[in-house]
Structure 1
Amino acid sequence: MQGSTRIGILIPEFPGQTHIFFWREIEALRSCGADVKIISTRKPGSENFHEFHNQVGDTFYLTTLPVLRILLFFVCNISWLLRSLSYCFKLHGGLRTKLRTTLFIPFSANLIMYCRKHHINHMHVHSSADAAHIVSLAGLSNEFTYSICVHGNLNQYGDNHAAKFRKASFIVTVTNPLSREVSSVLPDIPSSRIPVIPMGVDIEKFRPRTHKNQSSPNFVITSVSRLAHVKGHSFALQALAKLPNSIRFRYNIVGDGDMREALEREAKDLGIADKVEFFGFKKEGEVYEILQQTDIFMLTSFGYGEAAPVAIMEAMACGVTPICSIIGGTTDMITDRHDGTLVKQKDVNHITEALMYLLSDRDRLQEISMNARKTAETKFCHRRSAYKLFEHIQSVHTI
């Protein structure tokens, strides 16, 4: 590759509550020798003080527009502006869709100017929604190559995906089902342009605790996610309420969101409020400490919002047995009753059965937890994933 590898990573509303895995990727890419610049659309609506918070102060936000410079850019780059307008008006959908996309053109111009200033030769965008349009429009300048990472089912991220993907050097997907979904949008694209690369977890930092207190009468069950309806905490609470009194447990709910008050009320109504603790948002190190005391990790999401949940990877790396909905690519991640258990979406009885299967036999739970760690070591190392991404970026620029 000529010169140094200068990569721009575009992450919408960075740093958000669940964005620690993006930071891991950035650090790992830098350890590969890449010069990585962080770009975002706008600042998140609420502050989330991750351990890396003080290291992302140089994030460039596209919505901070230098209006006069943008206007001058349009005047000096008429051909690019015309290509961008053509891109917008060739999109499928009504006039409203086309006009809405033209509103991204100033942000794309801002991105081009930033890439010129910092000599960025490849953009990688962690979104297949509006941010992908912004990068695709900027890519019409032919001043850098770009790639897109798909993190979930395409129907959750708008439409006109063919337009976003067509000029991309490659499209990363985090699971095999998503790779097949991208192929269905662009059936002529070779599989080599749709690599499957999970985000990964730091398996050196997230490790099993050296000694588990097998004599403790209480099982510790934990969920880590945004407190949103689609995360399915309600089904977990209902399943836990159905456990026999002989099984003693504590349920840790880590994360924050609009559903907190409703979930607190539900725990009280189910008669298990004294067994449930709401921790709110926690930093990576604090999550690790909680996982160190955890026996079972629960993620009972439903719908289309999950792909390859990093929280599951973190739990498995810590040797914590997951109970996880069959959703997105979780069947790629977990082999049922070998390194975790898979449950049907919204099925309280099935979740209860999975809990009983694990909680009724400590030796079985221990064996599955050991298998979970082995799977994490094999599949979910974030450095290995970042290196694969780096190799793909390098291959685009290799002469």
Structure 2
Amino acid sequence: MDKKIQIIAIAIAVVFSIFVLTSPSDPISLPDPYSNTKSDFVSIIAENLDKPRAIAVSEDRIFVTEKDGFIRVIQDGILLESPLASLRSANVFDGGLLGITLHPDFSNNHYIYVFLTYDEDGNLWNKILRITESENKLKDAQTIFDKIPGSSFSNGGFIKFGPDGKLYVGTGTVSDSSHLPQDLNSLSGKILRLNDDGTIPDDNPFSNSPVYSLGFRNPQGMTWDDDGNLYVAEFGPEKNDEINLIQAGKNYGWPEQQCSGDKKFENALLCYDPSIEPGGILFYSGDTLDFESPFIMASMRAANLYQLDFAEGLSSQKSILSGIGRVRDVVQGPDGSIYVITSNTDGKGFPDGTDDKLLRILK
């Protein structure tokens, strides 16, 4: 399909899905937003989270970051009153305590990794902390990577361990007029690849550099398929949100290209015009839930949790869950269930008296 035609088709499909899938009569919506026992399909695990940003799930606990600097713990279905950690974060609109991930050997070493925006002498920066926890308390915190340029609006901040055991980090640009995402000497607008101690892997595509790929505006989620392919979702500037297949050493164009069109850069797999504000994305690898396509995407502006098929584009995009407002992140639990957080207290949503929520999807 011609690329311009494809993008127009995507735009029409997104407008239709936003209108139809969030309509009050949508049968997929949660029937009672105040019930803790919604159905066999969806249940509320925690309520009254304050500007939550990301989820990490272990065998026995769920960890959620809150933008203002708190790591919250849900254990045995209960949100613990005391946070695991209270970190000093910058008070900016779209920065603060953002991404969270657990070390692959978390059950033994108890390492938690977080992405934090902070203010230093009037300048905004981001850093990665490795926290050692013990019985839901902070035992030790170490900065393992620092001086990622910060912003009030586009810090990226999602971090995940890949199937290769390396730590992948999405960083945002400092402003839409900045060309730092095209500068290999800058950490702005990049996907970074690190060892678990923050050092640079020897097999990174650029010598002595943490940069894995470049040319991004504001990465919001990442996932890997069963073949080890990395996918990243990112915000565009009011339109042209993207989902990209990430390859080592490749350039994805921002700010010179949005979505596609320039042979110097990689084309996006999907381009959303108008914006749907994609959040976390997930390649579902379990056998507990039955999906037509394994790719799951949270959406804030479109207020849905979607399943989608990259090969078929937006024509295959279907809502899994709606009626809960803005959806920020989605992860898979060890038992094959899916965990979702809402984002209605982030300044863009319309929170009810129990927002924000952590929900579990399990049949």
Q: Which has the higher strand share?
A: 2
Q: What TM-score bracket applies, with the shorter chain setting the length? A: under 0.3
Q: Which has the higher helix share?
A: 1
TM-score by length of 2: 0.25
Higher Cα radius of gyration: 1
